[in-house]
Amino acid sequence: MDKTRKVRAIAAAVVAAGITAGALAGCSSSGSGSSSSAGGTYTFWDPYPQYNASSDWAKVIDKCGSDAGVKIKRTAYDTSDLTNKALLAGQQKNSPDVLLVDNPVVSTLADAGILTTTTDNGLSTSGIAQNILGAGVIDGKTYGVPIGANTLALYYNPKVLQAAGVDISSVTDWDTLTAALQKVVASGHKGITFSAIGTEEGSFQFLPWFWGAGANLKKLDSSQGVAALQLWTDWVKQGLAPNSVINDTQTTSWQEFQTGDFGFSENGTWQKASAAQAGYKVVPLPGKTAGSAAPAPTGGEFFTIPVQKDSSRYKTSAKIVSCLTSSTNVVNTVNTLNYIGATKTVQQKQLAADPTLKPWVDAVQTAKARTGDNLGTNYPIISQQMWGAVQNALSGSQTPSDAMKAAQTAAASKTK
């Protein structure tokens, strides 16, 4: 990337991240980047402030540093703050040696010229499932490796289904799921909860239905995309899903499901512990037609190695990342984070320890990266238009067809 384009890319990324010019001018670079570190110290940033220095996560980082012959200085930020600080550090040429970021952020940082490729830094991608790795691939180049993945599936309440006379094995596609919802509501219970809020959470939850219809994010207004939005709209209109979905986050929709009165809930891996405690079960989300599960989007973080003035540091950074992603170390990490491993080796170890993870392993194996299909930094733009279309259709201000047409027109005018 030439220097002029790189400066423009960083500036655009900073604007996209919501950083003002004043914030740029006032940001201090002290104490975080590798340029200020001693030769034997490597800096590491992650999005896990909930894990302090005494946690197992921090201990494995320290051990991997020791194994690589260096000391690691770790700094933890919340996810959005981490993105902003990574962009600023890149502009100031003061990036950490290792950076662990939410997978959709990889394309933003790569586009800004902040990240090295796996060809540059020597990280191995061997054995990593391609659908999970896809979030780090832009224009044929790979910019990091995943720590693991989470995704969405369909939770159900066996007690409610039994009372409604619904056999979960009969739910194989949209029509049979709708029929099950109708039976649940007719029995005096409630149908399904999900999040359709006007944020990335809403897009994240809509994607399995969008992709499950065979739609492509480059054409929101295809007949398949419209069919997915029509499905959600019909559920709300018919009382099979509550009107509250338009404002529900994934957390609040789960709280509704936990009242015990709903038959189904679309939610993620991170709810599996509370679901097991309540006796809820899970199956993959169905596609429009029977025969295969709907692809759900992958969540989870990527280990990346930012650009450094001294490229000789990459070799040690790669050793640290390789240690952190080794099957021995990553199994405990992904279990703690409620993730499914990115390799079959890790997945098999997880299943051996907990066979109830089988539906989640299946869901992750059919999942897709949101920035996949080489969307890169176009994904956030498309996603914003998509969640706007969902809001407009569910609120009744537009038909699903008109909402998706408007969304496609807006997305096409803003993407490159």
Q: What is the pLDDT along the chain (416 residues), one digit of tens a residue?
A: 443 444 344 444 443 444 322 222 233 223 334 333 335 999 999 999 999 999 999 999 999 999 999 999 999 998 889 999 999 999 999 999 999 999 999 999 999 999 999 999 999 999 999 999 999 999 999 999 999 999 999 999 999 999 999 999 999 999 999 999 999 999 999 999 999 999 999 999 999 999 999 999 999 999 999 999 999 999 999 999 999 999 999 999 999 999 999 999 999 999 999 999 999 999 999 999 998 899 999 999 999 999 999 999 999 999 999 999 999 899 988 988 899 999 999 999 999 999 999 999 999 999 999 998 889 999 999 999 999 999 999 999 999 999 999 999 999 999 97
Relative to beta strand 98-102, strand 41-46 is: parallel
The C-alpha angle with vertex 45 and arms to 44 and 48, in degrees rounded to 5, equals: 125
SS3 48: coil
Are 383 and 148 in contact by the 8 Å Cβ rule? The answer is no
Please state the pTM of the whole predicted model.
Answer: 0.86
Tell how strand 71-76 and strand 190-193 pair up. unpaired
Query: Which residues lie below 8 Å from residue 127, measured CB to CB, with a gap of 6+?
Result: 343, 344, 345
Which of 273, 236, 240 is closest to 258 using CA atoms?
273
Domains in the chain, CATH or no CATH each:
3-150+299-365 (3.40.190.10), 152-296+375-414 (3.40.190.10)
| Helix runs in 258-378, H state only | 272-278, 314-324, 327-336, 344-353, 358-365
